Structure 1
């Protein structure tokens, strides 16, 4: 009985159209209800305060960094992707376009001037550098 039930479930989920439907539903739920998350790391040295936003596979023209005031930056990232599948045998073309936009406020640890901020995109990481304004006291 247990093997029959297992076999029935396997054959039920082996149906290609059902698998495609489940995949499509899963993709829809993921894209609709899960916000785009932009992971941020912060590092401090005696000379700089460094903010690193991880943006894998994002093109430079899709990243926008805006100076809001002296203690906040607004990072906007646009994900615009097109995929096309061509099946010559069935003479069918499937096109899909995904457009998503993510924004994140980055609060700075102290007021800075816009001219003191440096930003660069390298290897999927947006690196934002600020001059260090904290005073570090050496401990002996």
Structure 2
């Protein structure tokens, strides 16, 4: 027969605090720092992979894509500035700036033909077309 016990969330909080506190990553959110991530959609057909990466607010000159075999890496330099002024425009009441790099890398199931890769950046979405490299068929070799 199963034992039934009452759940107390404070017990778990104190257990987690003392058990492995220094082993777990702690994420601290900073006020004013936007949550910048590269979100991906990857599709595949017989001839190519198509990747749609959302990178809003970034200039296309600040995006770098590297393809090596089946590994794809996307890096973007993010520059966000926001200023709020009073009605006369003379006094800055608040100023927020964020500068940094975001990156995302992933591997594909098949190698990519690096010479035929195309990239297009429109309205905050990077579209990559990654043609698959023709697979070399294995050849059985007879031993003499």
TM-score, structure 1 normalization:
0.61
When residues 37 and 95 of structure 1 are mapped into structure 2, their CA distance, relative to the original with a 3 A threshold, is closer
Answering whether residue 129 of structure 2 is matched by residue 129 of structure 1, we say yes
When residues 82 and 31 of structure 1 are mapped into structure 2, their CA distance, relative to the original with a 3 A threshold, is closer
User: Counterparts of 1:37 and 1:112 in 2: how far apart (Å)?
Assistant: 24
Structure 1 residue 76: deviation in Å?
0.7
Q: In structure 2, the residue corresponding to 1:61 is in which secondary structure?
A: helix
Q: Which residue matches 1:73? A: 72
Q: Where in structure 2 are the equivalents of 1:40-59 lying within 5 Å?
A: 40-59=40-59
TM-score, structure 2 normalization:
0.59
Identify the structure with the greater helix proportion. 1
Structure 2 regions of 5+ residues with no counterpart?
A: 1-27, 136-144
User: Counterparts of 1:58 and 1:125 in 2: how far apart (Å)?
Assistant: 10
Q: State whether residues 32 and 96 of structure 2, in contact with CA within 8 Å, keep that contact through their aligned partners in structure 1.
A: no
Q: State whether residues 45 and 132 of structure 1, in contact with CA within 8 Å, keep that contact through their aligned partners in structure 2.
A: no
CA deviation profile, 1:90-131 (whole Å, cap 9, x unmatched): 952243221132111121221223212111112221111122
When residues 89 and 59 of structure 1 are mapped into structure 2, their CA distance, relative to the original with a 3 A threshold, is closer
Q: State whether residues 55 and 125 of structure 2, in contact with CA within 8 Å, keep that contact through their aligned partners in structure 1.
A: yes
User: How many residues of Structure 1 are paired with residues of Structure 2 in the alignment?
Assistant: 107
Answering whether residue 27 of structure 2 is matched by residue 28 of structure 1, we say no
Structure 1 residue 132: deviation in Å?
3.9
